[in-house]
Amino acid sequence: MVNFKPTDEQELIRQTIAGFAREVLRPAAREADEKNGVPETVVQRGWELGLVQSSIPEAFGGYGDARSAVTSALILEELAYGDLALALHLLAPRLLTIPLLVAGTEEQRKRWLPRFAGPEFTVGTAAFVEPRWDFDATSLATRAERQGGGYVLTGQKCLVPLAARAEAVLVYAAAPDGLAAFVVERGAPGLTVGEREKNMGIKALDTHPLTLEGVRVPAAARLGGEGANLRPLLDASRIAVAALAVGVARAAFDYARDYAKERRAFGVAIAQKQAIAFKLADMAIEIDSMRLLTWEAAWKLDSGRPATREAVLVKQYASQSALNIADNAVQVLGGHGYIREHPVELWLRNARGLATFDGLAVV
């Protein structure tokens, strides 16, 4: 029998992150959304919290222990409860560091990981999503052709977090022997970072399109070397999106529930009206279902069991459920839900992005 009760250490971590999300992220969320940017004070406090360094082993300058997808899922839920866009900004370097830890060679880890263990926020990122109506994570259009002692990368990417500031980008591409990823350094010839994208939600997160026109990289830049299995990274990304979805959904539900308890109509709180009470009950059930499915997928990943089926299903289920729950939260508030004075409209726009974005986080 699997027991998903968090350990004492996991609960302490969760409480610490929850406090940070409540005291730092939530108060900054509205202004960050309106100004399309993350305050540097928030970035530095997130860095000081160790969201990236805690995932890097001591041998490479960090202070992390063994990687745990379940622990990461707990962290991501709490961060997204504070604000999804701010969370994704703070977590962007992990798009490079976690894959290096999971699949990188010892030489790749020694070269890159210490750069992300210092006292200042250091930007790394990953380029996964492609601007295609038929985008398929398992069949990328970006190509990596073997030439001489290295590879030539050609293709287009979109929704790349912090691309204009990143020291390096982990570019996913289709190689002759299957899915591959390459560490491409800033300023590489043929690598072009486009103008910042204008998105409906998750507006505080700085994302850009990338164009790769014959970008040459050495064989040593290929993550894990030739033949490395990157499928677990896709699973880890899907589970991460699900965990973030739980956080967004819980934020919307909590606000709607509290509003319904205080808002009175015809002499009683609207939470006592069956239409509202049943809607809130359904939202709570969905959130618990999302969380348990996320934990199950993360547990399978941690235990070395095949987790692709669970990861695919929970990503789809959680992202759609978060959108439905955020929409229901707007409806619970009635006309007030459409007013920017209340954050439910922000959560609805952000939840829409969860169903669109892919590869923006990893557990």
CATH 1.20.140.10 positions along the chain are: 231-354
Contact of 17 with 78, CB cutoff 8 Å: yes
* pLDDT tens by residue, 88-120: 999 999 999 999 999 999 999 999 999 999 888
pLDDT along the chain (363 residues), means of 10: 84 96 97 96 94 90 84 97 98 96 95 93 95 86 94 97 96 94 96 96 96 97 92 94 98 97 87 93 98 97 93 96 97 90 96 83 78
- What's the pLDDT tens digit per position in 324-342? 999 999 999 998 889 889 9
pLDDT at 316: 95
Write down the pLDDT at residue 233. Answer: 93
Portions of the chain given CATH number 1.10.540.10: 8-116
CATH code of the domain occupying 8-116: 1.10.540.10
pTM reported for the whole predicted model: 0.96
CATH topology of domain 231-354: Butyryl-CoA Dehydrogenase, subunit A; domain 3 (1.20.140)
Question: Is 223:183 a contact under the CB 8 Å cutoff?
Answer: yes
State residue 130 phi and psi, 5-degree precision.
Answer: -120, 145
DSSP tally for the chain: helices H, then strands E: 11, 9
Whole-number Cα distances in Å, 326 to 86, 161, 330, 353: 18, 24, 6, 12
**What is the Cα–Cα distance from 156 to 306, expressed in whole angstroms?**
30
Alpha helices in the chain (DSSP H): 8-20, 26-35, 40-49, 69-82, 84-91, 94-103, 106-112, 231-262, 274-302, 308-332, 344-354
Closest CA relative to residue 82, chosen from 45, 119, 35, 135: 45
Provide CATH 2.40.110.10 ranges for the chain: 124-221
pLDDT at residue 1, rounded to an integer: 63
Of 205, 207, 224, 237, the residue nearest 318 (C-alpha): 237
- CATH architecture type of domain 124-221: Beta Barrel (2.40)
Residue 201, SS3 per DSSP: coil
Q: How many Cβ atoms sit within 10 Å of the Cβ of residue 268?
A: 9
For residues 82 and 18, give the distance between their C-alpha atoms in angstroms, rounded to a whole number: 8
Residue in 201, 209, 213, 131 with CA at minimum distance from that of residue 164:
209
